[in-house]
């Protein structure tokens, strides 16, 4: 298991240095090509768990250290071990011994004998003093909720009745939600297919169900055949709210990885253009469409400019529907991307709002009169959501925000929303939706 600790510590250290976990974890795993599948799986769990509760774990470690460690690798290894001692079911004696063994494998410049003694002493002190340490941290919101203080403060102001619940949901394991293509198979038939393979699921809407226990994607019945996709319940709202009708000209801006793209095409036979600034991510969209046996016109371009619009074969055509799933802080999906809490800075909120405003203003000119644009983020911060929309409405007299209404096939008992803001729950992530119509 100490190999799993080493891999996880390497990944955590990279994230704390500013690297995205989706890049850091594969890089850490590559250092140990002979690691077993079990060790690799454990390393992933330890990486996610440590970052999920980093605020709490780091607060404990700071109390245990007389001064900050100069070797970030040892610091990260201690964070992983303390996570195990706090939240894992592993035997405490085993965790400590494995951490000592892991640090002994570090290459220079770490002095092995000194490092081994330090790790052993700190972890044993933690076990002896855990209750006293916890008492000292009881007034720390960062330690209690494992979020940066600026994030906590923002939610307190914007969600006075929900802020604690939002923070707590963000520290839970996310549900695995499927979207069934009911054009190819009925929900009843698919549920029976799952039952035959002993996979339990909860049916929550016409197309959505949540697996009781997540399974690897490749083991989901019908996934490779395109009859089912993995997509959060909240994200599935986008295609319904957009309400594209057969024959319409539709633009899916910022489309990667293509979940909403596929859903739009499943619901209506439209002429769909899927736009994204990253050509590599567009390949994933194409792969997703191939699996679903659907077609769209994929274009590489920046949604905040008109360059791609002017250069496209269908130059300067207007769209009946536009899905603007804009870049954001992703503050509503932190349980899926645990590194976001520690990579984001408060100044990033302002940076994203500027980018969103450019995209929204640019796409608006491409919308046909009477057409509808669905503005979407996976954020819970008001500046990126209704605050952004309010500013846009003030500057565009031809824009009108339509009332937010859940589709008939969506149970209100499964969705918690405040004027278009989906507050994260056990059933769905945090999304914001604003449907705008051009008068």
Give the distance, in angstroms, between the CA of residue 40 and the centroid of all CA atoms in the same chain.
21
Would you list the DSSP string of 359-417?
A: HHHHHHTTEEEEEEEEEEES---GGGTHHHHHHHHHH-TTEEEPPP---TTB-TTT--E
Nearest partner of 22 among 56, 53, 51, judged by Cα: 51
Nearest partner of 179 among 138, 223, 148, judged by Cα: 223
Nearest partner of 339 among 48, 6, 44, 46, judged by Cα: 48
| Residues forming beta bridges with residue 273, ordered by sequence position | 251, 297
Pair of tokens at residue 190: 């698919």
232 contacts 177 by C-beta, under 8 angstroms: yes
Is 254 designated active site?
Answer: no
| Residues forming beta bridges with residue 81, ordered by sequence position | none
Contacts for 274 with CB less than 8 Å, ≥ 6 apart: 252, 255, 258, 261, 282, 285, 296, 297, 298, 299
Cα gap 346→148, rounded to integer Å: 9
First-to-last CA distance in the chain?
A: 62
Count of CA atoms in the C-beta half-sphere (13 A) of 317: 15
Which positions are annotated as active-site residues? 378
């Amino acid at each position: 298991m100490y190999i799993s600790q080493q891999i996880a510590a390497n990944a955590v250290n990279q994230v704390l240095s500013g690297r995205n976990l989706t890049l850091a974890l594969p890089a850490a795993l590559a250092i140990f090509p002979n690691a077993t599948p079990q060790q690799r799986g454990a390393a992933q769990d330890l990486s996610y768990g440590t970052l999920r509760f980093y605020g709490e774990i780091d607060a404990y470690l700071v109390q245990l250290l007389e001064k900050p460690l100069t070797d970030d690798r040892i610091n990260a290894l201690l964070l992983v071990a303390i996570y195990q001692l706090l939240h894992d079911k592993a035997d405490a004696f085993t965790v400590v011994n494995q951490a000592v063994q892991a640090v002994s494998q570090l290459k220079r410049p770490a002095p092995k004998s000194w490092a081994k003694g330090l790790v052993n002493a700190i972890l044993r002190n933690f076990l002896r003093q855990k209750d006293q340490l916890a008492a000292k941290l009881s007034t720390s919101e960062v330690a209690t909720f494992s979020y940066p203080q600026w994030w906590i403060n923002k939610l307190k102001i914007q969600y006075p009745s929900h802020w604690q619940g939002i923070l707590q949901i963000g520290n839970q394991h996310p549900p695995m939600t499927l979207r069934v293509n009911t054009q190819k198979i009925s929900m009843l038939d698919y549920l029976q297919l799952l039952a035959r393979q002993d996979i339990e699921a909860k049916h929550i809407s016409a197309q959505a169900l949540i697996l009781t226990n997540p399974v690897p994607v490749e083991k989901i019945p019908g996934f490779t055949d395109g009859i089912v996709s993995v997509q959060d319940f909240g994200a599935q709202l986008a295609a319904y709210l957009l309400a594209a009708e057969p024959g319409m000209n539709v633009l899916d801006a910022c489309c990667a990885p293509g979940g909403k793209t596929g859903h739009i095409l499943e619901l209506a036979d439209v002429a769909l253009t899927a736009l994204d600034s990253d050509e590599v991510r567009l390949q994933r969209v194409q792969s997703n469409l191939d699996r679903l046996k659907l077609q769209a016109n994929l274009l590489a371009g920046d949604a905040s400019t008109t360059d791609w619009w002017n250069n496209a074969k269908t130059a300067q055509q207007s769209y009946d529907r536009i899905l603007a799933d804009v870049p954001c802080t992703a503050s509503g999906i932190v349980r899926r991307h645990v590194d976001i809490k520690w990579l984001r800075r408060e100044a990033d909120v302002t940076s994203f709002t500027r980018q969103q405003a450019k995209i929204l203003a640019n796409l608006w000119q491409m919308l046909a009169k009477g057409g509808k644009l669905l503005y979407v983020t996976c954020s819970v911060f008001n500046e990126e959501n209704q605050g952004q929309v309010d500013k846009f409405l003030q500057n565009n007299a031809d824009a009108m925000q339509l009332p937010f209404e859940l589709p008939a096939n969506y149970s209100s008992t499964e969705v918690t929303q405040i004027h278009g803001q989906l507050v994260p729950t056990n059933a769905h992530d945090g999304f914001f939706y604003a449907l705008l119509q051009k008068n």
